[in-house]
A and B are shown apart, each in its own frame.
Chain A
Amino acid sequence: MIRARIAADFFIILSIFIFPYWVPLLAGLFFLFYFRNFYEYLAVAFFLDLLYGGGVLRVYGIPFFLSIAALILYISAAVLKKRLILYG
């Protein structure tokens, strides 16, 4: 499992530099369900926020839009995983 996680991290880091912002975020969403406590997702969203928004710009008036969205998704995924029999 640890090897898969390292590979996932490597892919996500690489995709930040190569692909548009939504690729690492979508891939991360998948990994959120695949791995336990995928904290990397929050770090990726934070990195993208600082890179594209410089910490000063807003989307629909919300600062750190991606980080906040990632946190909501992370918590939702954790709650969902608790309720799904797949993760029993």
Chain B
Amino acid sequence: MIYRHDKKNNPAGKLFVLFIAVAAVLLFLFFVPQSARFTSSLVSAVFVAFAGPDSIPVKNIESYKALLSNKEDIIEKNKSIQFDLDEAEARLKEVEEIESENFALKEILGRKISRDITLARVIMRPSRSPYDTLLIDAGESGGIKIGSKVFANGNTLVGTVEAVYTNTALVSLFSTPGREFEARLGSEDISITLMGRGGGSFEAVVPRALPVSKGDSVVVPSLSRSIVGYVEAVVSDPRDPFAKIFILSPISISTLRFVEVEK
């Protein structure tokens, strides 16, 4: 018979104590939100200090990367970026023209909108996070508030601010799995309820008779145009009176570098 000494010191009791201790901490943080806010602000500050874009370790790694990379590769990459930039600039001019026309029309109709925006750098993206969140480098000191809308590339609405710390803020994306919100579909402004599927994608269930096609825009109902995404696929079954539509954000969330936050 094998005699096990470790069984003498009651490991079940130890586990029970550990369980109670962890549960007590989590319950305390859950019922006292201020303490959760304080602790997460501390955690966020530590993360930014060690892994933020301006932190010393990240800067050192980037300089070593530059030293090790091939000169020809860099030239090739530079050319490709220059090409993309030229294309984007041309598109931007087009968009600016439409935007100014839009503003002019709204002014004529007496519906002037002024948006107070702060530009923020993305420190952490959803590919790293289980919560589909962004950590941005603008916080209380930059006038950010809980609930502020967050945009990318001008008028693509990506999420809302959920927690604000001194110099950083946590943004919950609309595409967070399970998150539901109201939106309007296509040129006929059909009301739909979107449900997040993670990583910038959404789904909605609409009556099959509705004229929905690939490429239709989905916007949030407000005076200023806030695009959420475009219809990517429509899945329907002749036996089912409803169709499922899949919507994709025009922004690649996993490569997002900057966002604009409404104050």
Binding site for B on A (CB under 8 A): 16-22, 39, 42, 46-48, 50-57, 59-61, 63-68, 71, 74-75, 78-79, 82, 88
How distant is the Cα of A67 from the Cα of B43 in the complex, in angstroms? 15
Chain A at the B interface: SS class: helix
How distant is the Cα of A16 from the Cα of B176 in the complex, in angstroms? 22
Please report the number of residue pairs spanning A and B whose Cβ atoms sit closer than 8 angstroms.
Answer: 101
Q: B224 in the interface, Cβ–Cβ < 8 Å?
A: no
CB pair A51–B40 under 8 Å, yes or no, is yes
CB pair A65–B22 under 8 Å, yes or no, is no
Q: Which residues of B contact A53 (CB under 8 A)?
A: 40, 130-131, 133, 170
Q: Which residues of A contact B23 (CB under 8 A)?
A: 71
Within 8 A of A (CB), among B42-95: 43-44, 47, 50-51, 57
How distant is the Cα of A68 from the Cα of B127 in the complex, in angstroms? 21
CB pair B131–A75 under 8 Å, yes or no, is no
Other than the given A17-B47, A21-B128, A75-B18, 20 more pairs (CB < 8 A) read: A16-B47, A20-B128, A50-B40, A51-B44, A51-B124, A52-B130, A52-B133, A53-B130, A53-B133, A54-B36, A54-B44, A55-B40, A56-B162, A57-B133, A64-B26, A64-B29, A64-B30, A75-B15, A75-B19, A88-B2
Q: Which residues of B contact A61 (CB under 8 A)?
A: 178
Q: Min CB distance, B6 to chain A, in Å?
A: 8
Contact of A52 among B7, B51, B129, B178 (CB under 8 A): B129
CB pair B39–A20 under 8 Å, yes or no, is no
Q: B4 in the interface, Cβ–Cβ < 8 Å?
A: yes
